Amino acid sequence: MNSEKPLGSVIQGSLSEGLEIRLYPDVSVEDMRVGKFLVVQGVRSRFFCLLTDVLLGTSSPRIMSDPPSAEDSLLREILAGSGTYGTLKLSPMLMFTPSLGESEKEAAIAEEKQKAIDTLASFDIQTSGELELLPVKTIPSHFSQVYEASEKDFRTVFGWEDDPHRRNFSIGRPLDMEVPVCIDLNRFVERSNGIFGKSGTGKSFLTRLLISGVIRKQAAVNLMFDMHSEYGWEAVSEGKQFSTVKGLKQLFPSQVEIYTLDPESTKRRGVNNARELFLSYDQIQIEDLRLVSRDLGLSDASIDNANILQKEFGRSWIVRLLDMTNEDITLFCEEQQGHKGSISALQRKLMRLESLKYIRSACPHNYIDRILESLDAGINVVIEFGSQSNMLSYMLATNMITRRIHSRYVKKADRFLQTQNPLDKPRQLVITIEEAHRFLDSGIVNQTIFGTIAREMRKYFVTLLVVDQRPSGIDNEVMSQVGTRITCLLNDDKDIDAIFTGVSGGGGLRSVLAKLDSKQQALILGHAVPMPVVVRTRAYDQKFYTEIGDTDWKTKTDREVHDAANQAKANLGF
């Protein structure tokens, strides 16, 4: 479709409800799809809009009561454009008004038509550095012309990937154009973000795509809790035929480190250079148990008695409890006023932790310190769970590790604020978690480290990337703090409502989200993009590997780089 040819004109509308556009007779309503990016050229300003609805209209009720038959093509052609027509609903998102001198303003009032042409010309010669896109505070006048967005419009709003002034990353393309739509990675990592969509819509591929961009542009360092072991080395591709796609370690061998909680499972999948990770009972705190109390079946009384045990035995309280006999428990309760039934139940429930392969009574090394050393060195960390991917195991390990890393970052941030020395500034850290609603449910969000991180935004240089298929399960206050939301198809009304929590004008976008395809389409809105946009997400394939991957892959074979990275780490004592 020719972007210089008008599609229709504004016939009515309001700032709160959006604009109504009547299509010209030669424009097919079937070419108008919800989610399209259109522009309206007003007298002074250019408005960037999102198509939110498509309607059919008639000029007379008689046409609807006596429509032409299927064979009467002549009458249908006569009515088209006058008796019958198509209308669009547009939601203005941004506006651009060129700065004008007084003489130009006077000329604009006298010659509105010429002024509109001059505005277009002025718009065309602007560069991304000179443009100032503003929130919409007004609307265009009656009969303003509506155009298909051009490549220049997309570049004006979303920038381009090789912009030297920004860390832009192309996440996809518009539904009907071959121009990249970029997100600003600097703004993306500033706040916690979310990737949402029902099962099978490609959330994992989108996550790999985004993290690859963050690594390539060095916008932040990443800590990923890989529940299903599909981000580190390789993953199974969706489709009828079996195939695999490269993980982050293959794309960035020198910039990604894999830690595993299940070394046997990791080796079976052909990953030979993963580092083992173990946790100990003395690292488990009451807050960790409170998070998994539902999975362990712990009552509030058991948690209260756990506090008594911790106060008496310190960090070794779980080991001491598991070694207690019935007589020991009775004696302890008599001395410390504990409840024997609750402590006995707590002991039985905590025995389930013995089945977790990565839990030890004591660890010879502080593995979390090793993870922090990797992150401090700018190496991205993927923690694989292997066969230990049940919800109890995932939630316990993820909360334990994150709480300690966040604590270290708080100390680093406080030191930086005190010294103001750039060398003391912590690297921006993005923590990726799956099944996020289990950590951010309104009933427990105030007791988990993830709720704290989400509310702090970037105060301590730590943000979240939450991946979930049930956003309605996430606390509303936390959802309102999610900066950028990348949403694939959702069917549940509660989930759709949750996506627009804290988003002004979200009502008009509901229809856009509901009309997405089930594969490779997403609605992006929030802090990292100037306006909401629907994209056909970038393919995660060989072309992407070449464009985004580590430059070493372009000159060496996978195995050569793999072996070289292993040798380098061995030399460093890893």
DSSP tag of 80: B
pLDDT for position 564: 47
| Model confidence at 237: pLDDT above 70 | yes
Helices (H) and strands (E) in the chain, counts: 24, 23
Mean pLDDT value across residues 147-156: 89
Q: What is the pLDDT of residues 554-567, one digit of tens each?
A: 434 444 444 544 54
| Model confidence at 381: pLDDT above 90 | yes
Lowest mean pLDDT among 97-101, 255-259, 454-458: 97-101
Domain ranges of the chain: 8-158, 184-278+363-569, 285-356
CATH topology for 184-278+363-569?
Answer: Rossmann fold (3.40.50)
Lowest mean pLDDT among 111-120, 155-164, 288-297: 111-120
pLDDT for position 431: 95
| Model confidence at 400: pLDDT above 70 | yes
Mean pLDDT value across residues 162-188: 89
Q: What is the pLDDT of residues 293-349, one digit of tens each?
A: 888 888 888 889 999 999 989 989 999 999 999 998 899 888 888 888 889 999 999
pLDDT for position 554: 40
pLDDT for position 103: 41
Mean pLDDT value across residues 68-78: 72
DSSP string, 205-223: HHHHHHHHHHHHHT--EEE
pLDDT for position 508: 74
pLDDT for position 295: 86
Share of the chain above pLDDT 90, in %: 35
pLDDT for position 335: 85
Q: Give the three-class secondary structure for 493.
A: helix
Mean pLDDT value across residues 541-552: 77
pLDDT for position 528: 93
Task: Indicate the pairing of strand 244-246 with strand 181-184.
Answer: unpaired
Q: What is the pLDDT of residues 442-490, one digit of tens each?
A: 888 877 888 888 888 678 899 999 999 999 999 988 888 899 999 999 9
pTM above threshold 0.85: no
Of the candidates 158, 50, 72, the residue with the CA atom closest to the CA atom of residue 534 = 50
CA 467 to chain centre: 7
| Model confidence at 206: pLDDT above 70 | yes
pLDDT bracket for residue 47 (50, 70, 90): very high
Long-range CB contacts (within 8 A, 24+) of 284-290: 284/318, 284/353, 284/396, 284/400, 285/400, 285/403, 286/310, 287/399, 287/403, 287/447, 287/448, 287/449, 288/396, 288/399, 288/400, 288/403, 290/444, 290/447
Average pLDDT, the chain: 84
pLDDT bracket for residue 515 (50, 70, 90): confident
pLDDT for position 120: 41
